[in-house]
Amino acid sequence: MTDGNSNLPLVWDLVDRKTEVFAELANQVWETPETCYMETESAAAHREMLEAQGFRITDAVANIPTAVMGEAGSGGPVIAFLGEYDALAGLSQKADTVEHDPLVAGANGHGCGHNLLGSASLLAATALKDWLEKTGTPGRVRYYGCPAEEGGAAKAFMVRDGAFSDVDIAISWHPSNFAGVQRETSLANCRIDFTFTGRAAHAAAVPELGRSALDAVELMSVGVNYMREHMPSECRIHYAVLDTGGISPNVVQAHAKVRYVVRAPDLAGLFALIERVKKVAEGAALMTETKMESVTLAGVSNLVVNTPLMDTMQDIWESMGPPAFDAADIEFAEKIRATLTPEDVAASWAQERLEQRDIPLADFVLPPHNEVRQMGGSTDVGDVSWVVPTVQAYGATLAIGTQLHTWQVVAQGKSALAHKGMASVAKVMAATGLAAMTSEQLREAAWADLKRRHKGQDYKSPIPAQAEPPIAAMSVR
């Protein structure tokens, strides 16, 4: 299956040679945590690295200022590595610490490990590029620096713009507790802003003249919360109030805005659920005599997994083994584990249907399984996976039990254990890319698998045709 087998030590050595510089890149991005479409410095750091490594640059992919693409090589198949570098709001935390201690109170932090994600993908792309050059093999390697994975759906906009239209195979990964192949599908979702407009009035003198937009937001969430009982259990709905209408209780709130994320296992289920949420919003407007406007900002599709690519990546992981953590890594991971609850730790093992063991760091590669499981989250890699056969690894960069979007992820983001996990997953991705580059049979099998999983359905973007990347909307604080 892995035709490039004899080449594996060579491409792994090419990763080893550059691991240090890419660990520095990951640290640099950790130090400038930027959220959704605001990743100016992080994208610039990736662009600089692409240039330094000799890639040809395309700036502002799909007209997104913080999306950057680098290509190297000529002719042959196109193998794409997908990277991310966006952070999360409110998760600032000092590095290598074992208690909650923000670096800057209230500031952003890399709570999903995307500082490592982008860097390892770019390292894998660089190693495969170096291998092409060394061996004089025709083929093109691309690195897509993709912003705004956390809710901005940048890859869905990039897909809509045709950025992946000539790609043969796409490869990515995500930081995790374990080392292995991602075999789960993810939830499709849409982000929708509901704006209510009422009428201001003196809340004591003439309350009967006021119509409260804030009431509408509250009634909408009451309605949605009742609806939860009557929706498929895999679906998710959550919301954040962006505008409460002001700080004066004695002024009837004339404007209010709430952002909803609606999720479902597939697009058909998603759109059906969205219609119901919109009816609840209309009902809230009717009850409060306010006006309601809804705008869909972004959306992502469910992931389509790919059996031939997952099998290839599994073989590579098994021939390589888990990252070689040392005593110091284990000691730090033990201290992180002491900050977690027993439920945190149990959840990580249960997610992988594994019997819990008393180890702080993964010392094995996740075994393969054939059922398609549902993961709780979403990712815009989903949209790429509908149009290009896509495979993703899990890299062991976190103490077992660490849950994403927590300070513990940020605390481990610059650690030696994270850098070891990142280097090992870069090797797996580079080797998977090499296998795809050198085996037409694998590429054909991967495309056949994608067509089979489509079941005759063509890809339909979850983003409304007229929507632009929600750069301004996402900078709302």
Ligand X SMILES: Nc1ccc(C(=O)N[C@@H](CCC(=O)O)C(=O)O)cc1
Q: Give the binding site for ligand X (CB under 6 A).
A: 112, 149-151, 174, 189, 300, 377-380, 404
Choose between 119 and 189: whose C-beta lies nearer to ligand X.
Answer: 189
Give the CA count within 13 Å in the CB-facing half-sphere of 417.
32
**Minimal distance in Å, beta carbon 412 to ligand X?**
16
Choose between 39 and 380: whose C-beta lies nearer to ligand X.
Answer: 380
Angle of CA points 371, 376, 381, to nearest 5°:
80
Describe the strand order of the beta sheet including 139-146 as a list of residue ranges: 56-59, 68-74, 139-146, 78-84, 169-176, 390-396, 180-181
What distance in Å separates the CA atoms of residue 299 and residue 282, rounded to the nearest whole number? 21
Choose between 73 and 470: whose C-beta lies nearer to ligand X.
Answer: 470
Cβ–Cβ < 8 Å for 457, 103: no
**Minimal distance in Å, beta carbon 262 to ligand X?**
10
**Minimal distance in Å, beta carbon 149 to ligand X?**
6
Task: Work out whether the CA dihedral 330, 336, 341, 346 comes out positive or negative.
Answer: negative
Burial category of 463 from C-beta neighbours within 10 Å (exposed 0-12, middle 13-18, buried 19 and up): buried
Give the Å distances, CA to CA, from 50 to 47, 122, 142, 145, 436: 5, 8, 10, 10, 22
Choose between 160 and 174: whose C-beta lies nearer to ligand X.
Answer: 174
What distance in Å separates the CA atoms of residue 8 and residue 122, rounded to the nearest whole number? 18
Choose between 175 and 389: whose C-beta lies nearer to ligand X.
Answer: 175
Measured torsion, CA atoms of residues 119, 121, 123, 128, in degrees rounded to the nearest 10: -170
Cβ–Cβ < 8 Å for 302, 265: yes
Give the Å distances, CA to CA, from 282 to 196, 209, 219, 297: 10, 21, 10, 19
16 three-class SS = helix
The residue at minimum Cβ distance from ligand X is 377
Choose between 111 and 139: whose C-beta lies nearer to ligand X.
Answer: 111
299 three-class SS = strand
Choose between 32 and 351: whose C-beta lies nearer to ligand X.
Answer: 351
Choose between 288 and 378: whose C-beta lies nearer to ligand X.
Answer: 378
**Minimal distance in Å, beta carbon 324 to ligand X?**
24
**Minimal distance in Å, beta carbon 253 to ligand X?**
28
Cβ–Cβ < 8 Å for 139, 73: yes
**Minimal distance in Å, beta carbon 378 to ligand X?**
4
Burial category of 120 from C-beta neighbours within 10 Å (exposed 0-12, middle 13-18, buried 19 and up): buried
**Minimal distance in Å, beta carbon 212 to ligand X?**
30
**Minimal distance in Å, beta carbon 442 to ligand X?**
23
**Minimal distance in Å, beta carbon 71 to ligand X?**
25
Parallel/antiparallel/unpaired status of strands 390-396 and 180-181? antiparallel
Task: Work out whether the CA dihedral 156, 142, 68, 116 comes out positive or negative.
Answer: positive
Choose between 193 and 215: whose C-beta lies nearer to ligand X.
Answer: 193
Choose between 53 and 189: whose C-beta lies nearer to ligand X.
Answer: 189
Choose between 120 and 132: whose C-beta lies nearer to ligand X.
Answer: 120
187 three-class SS = coil
**Minimal distance in Å, beta carbon 472 to ligand X?**
18
Give the Å distances, CA to CA, from 66 to 47, 63, 85, 196: 10, 9, 10, 32
**Minimal distance in Å, beta carbon 439 to ligand X?**
26
**Minimal distance in Å, beta carbon 173 to ligand X?**
8
Cβ–Cβ < 8 Å for 306, 389: yes
Choose between 88 and 167: whose C-beta lies nearer to ligand X.
Answer: 88
